[in-house]
Amino acid sequence: MNGTARITKISGDEFEGMVIDSGRVAVVDFWATWCDPCKRLEELLHDIVPDYEDRVSFFKVDVNESGQLAARYSVRSIPMLLFFRGGQVVDQAVGFMSREALEKKIKSLAESA
Protein backbone atom coordinates (compact mmCIF):
# COMPACT_ATOMS: atom_id res chain seq x y z
CA MET A 1 0.00 0.00 0.00
CA ASN A 2 1.13 3.48 -0.68
CA GLY A 3 0.41 6.37 1.69
CA THR A 4 -3.14 7.62 1.95
CA ALA A 5 -4.20 6.47 -1.51
CA ARG A 6 -4.48 2.70 -1.74
CA ILE A 7 -2.62 1.75 -4.89
CA THR A 8 -0.87 -1.58 -4.40
CA LYS A 9 2.30 -2.30 -6.35
CA ILE A 10 2.20 -5.90 -7.57
CA SER A 11 4.32 -8.18 -9.72
CA GLY A 12 3.42 -10.89 -12.18
CA ASP A 13 3.45 -13.50 -9.40
CA GLU A 14 0.70 -11.70 -7.47
CA PHE A 15 -1.40 -10.64 -10.43
CA GLU A 16 -3.60 -13.75 -10.78
CA GLY A 17 -4.71 -13.79 -7.14
CA MET A 18 -5.05 -10.07 -6.60
CA VAL A 19 -6.62 -9.02 -9.91
CA ILE A 20 -7.98 -11.97 -11.89
CA ASP A 21 -9.29 -14.18 -9.05
CA SER A 22 -10.21 -11.44 -6.54
CA GLY A 23 -13.85 -11.00 -7.54
CA ARG A 24 -13.44 -7.20 -7.39
CA VAL A 25 -13.30 -4.74 -10.21
CA ALA A 26 -9.78 -3.37 -10.62
CA VAL A 27 -7.73 -0.68 -12.29
CA VAL A 28 -4.17 -1.71 -13.13
CA ASP A 29 -1.62 0.97 -13.97
CA PHE A 30 1.30 -0.30 -16.08
CA TRP A 31 4.15 2.17 -15.58
CA ALA A 32 7.93 2.66 -15.24
CA THR A 33 10.02 4.83 -12.94
CA TRP A 34 11.61 6.70 -15.88
CA CYS A 35 8.27 7.64 -17.47
CA ASP A 36 7.22 11.25 -16.79
CA PRO A 37 3.60 10.85 -17.99
CA CYS A 38 3.39 7.82 -15.65
CA LYS A 39 4.35 10.04 -12.70
CA ARG A 40 1.70 12.59 -13.61
CA LEU A 41 -0.94 9.87 -13.96
CA GLU A 42 0.07 8.38 -10.61
CA GLU A 43 -0.51 11.76 -8.91
CA LEU A 44 -3.93 11.96 -10.52
CA LEU A 45 -4.79 8.40 -9.43
CA HIS A 46 -3.76 9.18 -5.85
CA ASP A 47 -6.27 12.07 -5.88
CA ILE A 48 -9.09 9.92 -7.26
CA VAL A 49 -8.59 6.58 -5.45
CA PRO A 50 -10.12 7.58 -2.09
CA ASP A 51 -13.48 8.22 -3.80
CA TYR A 52 -13.64 4.70 -5.27
CA GLU A 53 -11.48 2.35 -3.19
CA ASP A 54 -14.52 0.88 -1.43
CA ARG A 55 -15.70 -0.51 -4.80
CA VAL A 56 -12.58 -0.73 -6.95
CA SER A 57 -9.09 -2.14 -6.29
CA PHE A 58 -6.14 -0.15 -7.63
CA PHE A 59 -2.81 -1.69 -8.60
CA LYS A 60 0.38 -0.67 -10.34
CA VAL A 61 2.74 -2.91 -12.29
CA ASP A 62 6.29 -1.82 -13.16
CA VAL A 63 6.83 -2.94 -16.76
CA ASN A 64 10.59 -3.23 -16.18
CA GLU A 65 10.08 -5.66 -13.30
CA SER A 66 7.15 -7.58 -14.81
CA GLY A 67 7.90 -7.68 -18.52
CA GLN A 68 6.10 -10.99 -19.11
CA LEU A 69 2.91 -9.62 -17.58
CA ALA A 70 3.17 -6.47 -19.70
CA ALA A 71 3.64 -8.64 -22.79
CA ARG A 72 0.64 -10.82 -21.81
CA TYR A 73 -1.58 -7.72 -21.97
CA SER A 74 0.16 -6.22 -25.03
CA VAL A 75 1.42 -3.17 -23.13
CA ARG A 76 3.46 -1.34 -25.77
CA SER A 77 3.09 2.23 -24.53
CA ILE A 78 2.98 3.55 -20.99
CA PRO A 79 1.28 4.66 -18.95
CA MET A 80 -1.43 2.16 -19.74
CA LEU A 81 -4.45 1.53 -17.55
CA LEU A 82 -6.37 -1.72 -17.80
CA PHE A 83 -9.85 -1.93 -16.28
CA PHE A 84 -10.89 -5.40 -15.08
CA ARG A 85 -14.31 -6.84 -14.22
CA GLY A 86 -14.80 -10.53 -13.51
CA GLY A 87 -11.15 -11.23 -14.25
CA GLN A 88 -11.44 -9.84 -17.80
CA VAL A 89 -10.20 -6.60 -19.34
CA VAL A 90 -13.28 -4.48 -20.07
CA ASP A 91 -11.57 -1.20 -20.98
CA GLN A 92 -8.17 0.39 -21.36
CA ALA A 93 -6.52 3.77 -21.63
CA VAL A 94 -3.08 4.60 -22.98
CA GLY A 95 -1.15 7.73 -22.09
CA PHE A 96 -1.92 10.55 -19.71
CA MET A 97 -5.56 11.55 -19.56
CA SER A 98 -7.55 14.35 -17.97
CA ARG A 99 -9.05 13.93 -14.54
CA GLU A 100 -12.53 14.10 -16.06
CA ALA A 101 -11.84 11.32 -18.58
CA LEU A 102 -10.22 9.12 -15.94
CA GLU A 103 -13.04 9.63 -13.46
CA LYS A 104 -15.62 8.83 -16.14
CA LYS A 105 -13.94 5.46 -16.80
CA ILE A 106 -13.50 4.65 -13.11
CA LYS A 107 -17.06 5.72 -12.26
CA SER A 108 -18.42 3.44 -14.99
CA LEU A 109 -16.33 0.57 -13.65
CA ALA A 110 -17.30 1.30 -10.03
CA GLU A 111 -21.02 1.31 -10.86
CA SER A 112 -20.74 -2.29 -11.91
CA ALA A 113 -19.10 -3.30 -8.62
Structural domain includes residue 11 = yes
- Inside any domain, residue 111: no
- The whole domain housing 71 covers 7-103
Among the listed residues 25, 35, 49, 69, the single catalytic one is: 35
pTM listed for this prediction: 0.91
In a domain, 1, yes or no: no
Residue 113: its pLDDT value, please?
65
Kind of pairing between the strands at 80-85 and 56-62 = unpaired
Q: What is the CATH number of the domain that holds 97?
A: 3.40.30.10
First to last CA, the chain: 21
59 neighbors 7 (Cβ within 8 angstroms): yes
Domain total in the chain: 1
pLDDT > 70 in the chain, percent: 95
What per-residue confidence (pLDDT) applies to 110?
84
Give the pLDDT of residue 76.
94
Tell me the HSE value of 27 on the side-chain side, using a 13 A CA sphere. Answer: 31
User: Looking at the domain assignment, is residue 113 inside a domain?
Assistant: no
Residue 2 lies in a domain: no
- Split at pLDDT 50, 70, 90, the class of 3 is very low
* Active-site annotation holder among 7, 10, 19, 38: 38
